[in-house]
Amino acid sequence: MPIRHLPEDLINRIAAGEVVERPASVVKELVENAIDAGATRIVVTTAGGGRSLIRVEDDGAGMDRDDLVLSVERHATSKLEDDGLDDIRTLGFRGEALASIGAVAHLIVSSRTADATTGLRIEVDRSRKSGVVPQAMNRGTIVEVRDLFAGVPARLKFLKSDRAEAAAVADVVKRLAMANPDVHFVLDGSDRSPTNWPGDGDLAARVMQVMGADFAENAVPLQTSRHGVVVTGLAGLPTYSRANSLSQFYFVNGRSVRDKVLLGAVRAAYADFVFRDRFPAIALFLSVDPAAVDVNVHPAKAELRFRDGGGVRSAVIRAIIDALGEAGYRASSTVADDVISAFRVPEMADAAPSPIPSRGYQTMPREFVAAIGGLAEPSARYEAFEPPPEEATYPLGTARAQMFENFIVAQNGDALVLVDQHAAHERLVYEKFKSQLASGPVASQMQLIPVVIELPEEDCSRLEDAAPTLERLGLYLERFGPRAVAVRETPALLGQSDIDGLVKDIADGLAEWDSSEALGDRLDAIIARMACHGSVRSGRVLRVDEMNALLREMERTPHSGQCIHGRPTYVELKKADLERMFGRTR
C-alpha cells in the first residue's frame, strides 16, 4: 500500500483513543477547561455512567464566535502564547480534547462571554460540524457530550458497569476539587445522589469534604521546602492505612497526577509503618518551578517527568517522615472507635427494666462472653495499684494493671489506655536498632559457647553470604560444616533471646528476598525480624515500674503508636467513651 496522509476525522478518532479512554477522562478534560477559563462554579452532571450524558457547566470567561468555531478544531488552543512547552501554567495546552470528543460522540458546546449580548452554540456529531447558532444562556460555557463511543464498539466493550464508570467520574471530580479549593463543585445527575462542595478557598476544608473528617482527624500536616520543592498537604497516620490506593491524592502545581516518583517516595516514607499490601491515605501537594517538570509525557497529562526526580523524592520522604515523627506515639482514633463497637451492649430478649433474666447471657456477643470467661481463668492475672499523684501529666498515663500477661492498663487524666506490650516493645527495640546503626555497628554480646544451629544447606550459604551485613547488626555467625552455622555474638539489644528462632527467621527472609534487591536495602526488614525476637513476649509478667518505664519510653520514641507491622501499639478509651458505652450520657 502506498503511503498517504490520514484524513482529519481518522486522526481525531486515533487521538480520541489516547485522550478519551472512558467517561471519566471526558469529565477530566472538560472540567480542566472550565478551570483554565477561570470558573468559580462548575456543575458536572452525568447519566448512564457518563455514556448517555456528560454535561459540564461553568461560569468562566466563555468564548466568542471565532473561538467557539476553533475550539472544536484539532490542535487549536488559546493556552500557548509563544511556542514553548517549558513554562506551562494551564491544565490544557494540547488543543485536542474537544476535537477528540467530537470524533467519538455527539458534542454540543454553548458559550457566552461577559460582553456578548447572547450565547452561541456549535455541535459536532462524530466529526460532522454544525453552523453556529444563538443560544440563550448566562456567561460561561456549557459542554454536553451525548452517546459517548456510540460508533466505537471496540471502546464500548472495554467500559465497565454504569456504577463503576460513575465511580470513576466521581474520583476524577474529587481530585480536581482537591486541587481547586476555591472553586464551587457540584456533582449531579441520575448516576448518584448530588454532591455539593462550596469553594471557600480553604484547602483543609476541601480535603475534609473530599476525604472525610475521619481522614483529617487521623492525619498530620505536611509543610517543608527543600531541593526547590514545596511540599504541603496531609499525611495519614499509618494505622489509618487502606487496602487500596483510592485515598492517595497527588498534585503537582495544581495538576492531579499519577507519578512513579511520588508513589515510590510515599511508599518508602511509610515502609517502616505500613504493611506492603496496605496503602497510607495521603493528600500531597507539590509546588515546583514549572520549567523543572515536563507535563507533556502523557496524552491525558496524568503522568509527568521531573527534571530532578531524586530531589523530589527526598523532599517528599523527608516531609512525611518528619511529620509522622512529630506525631510520635499518636495512633489512629478510629482504633478506639473499633474497640468501642466491639464492646457492643448485649441485646436483651425484651426491653423490660426488670432484673436481667439469666438467659440474657446467651445473647451476648461471643467475644464479650469470651472476655468474661477469660477473667475467671488463672492465666488472666490482675493487679491493681494505688494511683500515683502525678498521673495526669503523662500522655500514656500511669500503669494500673496488667491483663492476660500482655496488656498494660493505664490511666491518664481522662482516658483509659490499653497497651499491647509486645507490639510496643517491638517498636522500641526496632527504633533503638536503627539509631544505633546510624552511628556504626550495633553493639553485640558474646556467647559463652558458640550456638550451633542446623539448617538446610542453601540457608547456610545465604547466611554465610550475608554475614558481613549481619555483623553490622550485631549478629556474628560463621559456617559450621555443610548444614550448620555457629553463632558467636548476638545483638546486645535483644538480651537473652531465642537465637535459634532468630537465625531461622532471618534465613527465611534471605530466601524470600533472594536476588531481588541488594541486602543493604533490606537492613530494615532484617532489623524488623530481629526486633520481633528481642521483644517482651506476651505472656511475660511485668512489674509496675517496668510497665511505667515502657510507657515513658513509648512517649519518647518516634512512631511508637504503631508496631513494625503497622498495627496499633495502644488504644485509648476516653472517659466519655466509657460513659457512652454504659449509656450514662444522653
- Contacting residues toward ligand ADP, per CB under 6 A: 29, 33-34, 37, 58, 60-63, 67, 71, 76-79, 92-99, 141
What's the grid cell of residue 549? 518505664
Compare residues 26 and 315 and give the one whose CB is closer to Mg ion: 26
Instruction: Answer with the entry of ligand ADP, Mg ion, none that 189 interacts with (C-beta below 5 to 8 A by kind).
Output: none
What's the min distance (Å) between Cβ of 36 and ligand ADP? Answer: 6
Instruction: Answer with the entry of Mg ion, ligand ADP, none that 95 interacts with (C-beta below 5 to 8 A by kind).
Output: ligand ADP
Taking residue 222's Cβ as centre, other Cβ atoms within 10 Å add up to: 21
Q: Does the footprint of Mg ion cover residue 560 (CB under 5 A)?
A: no
What's the min distance (Å) between Cβ of 173 and ligand ADP? Answer: 15
Nearest residue to Mg ion, scored by beta-carbon proximity: 92
Here's the x/- map for Mg ion, 164-203, by CB under 5 A: it reads as: ----------------------------------------
Compare residues 132 and 418 and give the one whose CB is closer to ligand ADP: 132
| Number of helical H runs and strand E runs in the chain | 18, 23
Q: Are 63 and 141 in contact (CB under 8 A)?
A: yes
Sign of the dihedral defined by the CA atoms of residues 258, 264, 269, 272, in that order: positive
Q: Residue 214 and residue 574: Cα distance in Å, rounded?
A: 17
Positions of E strands within 263-310 = 282-287, 293-294, 305-306
Q: Does the footprint of Mg ion cover residue 33 (CB under 5 A)?
A: yes
What's the min distance (Å) between Cβ of 397 and ligand ADP? Answer: 57
Nearest residue to ligand ADP, scored by beta-carbon proximity: 92
Q: What are phi and psi of 490, to 5 degrees?
A: -125, 160
- Where in 511-550 is the site for Mg ion (CB under 5 A)? none
H or E stretch covering 321: helix 309-327
DSSP designation for 445: E
What's the grid cell of residue 561? 503508636
With contacts defined by CB under 5 A, name the span among 25-33, 172-180, 241-249, 390-398 that binds Mg ion: 25-33
What's the min distance (Å) between Cβ of 92 and ligand ADP? Answer: 2
What's the min distance (Å) between Cβ of 150 and ligand ADP? Answer: 20
Q: What angle do CA 179, 181, 182 make, to 5 degrees?
A: 125
What's the min distance (Å) between Cβ of 33 and ligand ADP? Answer: 3
Q: Residue 228: which of 291, 154, 275 has the closest Cα?
A: 291
Instruction: Answer with the entry of Mg ion, ligand ADP, none that 49 interacts with (C-beta below 5 to 8 A by kind).
Output: none
Q: What are phi and psi of 488, to 5 degrees?
A: -100, -40
What's the min distance (Å) between Cβ of 562 and ligand ADP? Answer: 44
DSSP designation for 242: B
Instruction: Answer with the entry of Mg ion, ligand ADP, none that 96 interacts with (C-beta below 5 to 8 A by kind).
Output: ligand ADP
Taking residue 357's Cβ as centre, other Cβ atoms within 10 Å add up to: 11
Compare residues 23 and 92 and give the one whose CB is closer to Mg ion: 92
Compare residues 77 and 245 and give the one whose CB is closer to ligand ADP: 77
Instruction: Answer with the entry of Mg ion, ligand ADP, none that 442 interacts with (C-beta below 5 to 8 A by kind).
Output: none
Compare residues 304 and 416 and give the one whose CB is closer to ligand ADP: 304
DSSP designation for 393: G
3-class SS at 256?
strand
Compare residues 93 and 407 and give the one whose CB is closer to ligand ADP: 93
Compare residues 37 and 159 and give the one whose CB is closer to ligand ADP: 37
Q: Are 470 and 463 in contact (CB under 8 A)?
A: yes
Instruction: Tell me the residue type at 366.
Output: R
Q: Are 266 and 283 in contact (CB under 8 A)?
A: no
Task: Kindly determine how many residues on this chain lie close enough to bind Mg ion according to the rule CB under 5 A.
Answer: 3
What's the min distance (Å) between Cβ of 95 and Mg ion? Answer: 7
What's the min distance (Å) between Cβ of 169 and ligand ADP? Answer: 17
Instruction: Answer with the entry of Mg ion, ligand ADP, none that 23 interacts with (C-beta below 5 to 8 A by kind).
Output: none
What's the min distance (Å) between Cβ of 101 and ligand ADP? Answer: 8
Alpha helices (H) in 399-476, listed in sequence order: 421-438, 457-472
Query: What does each C-alpha distance from 91 to 18, 29, 127, 293 come to in angstroms?
Result: 17, 9, 24, 13
What's the grid cell of residue 214? 475521619
Instruction: Answer with the entry of Mg ion, ligand ADP, none that 60 interacts with (C-beta below 5 to 8 A by kind).
Output: ligand ADP
Q: Residue 93: which of 325, 247, 282, 295 has the closest Cα?
A: 295
Q: Does the footprint of Mg ion cover residue 238 (CB under 5 A)?
A: no
Q: What's the CA dihedral at 70, 75, 78, 83 to 10 degrees?
A: -140
What's the min distance (Å) between Cβ of 35 and ligand ADP? Answer: 9
H or E stretch covering 112: strand 106-112
- Where in 70-99 is the site for Mg ion (CB under 5 A)? 92, 97
Residues near Mg ion, by CB under 5 A: 33, 92, 97
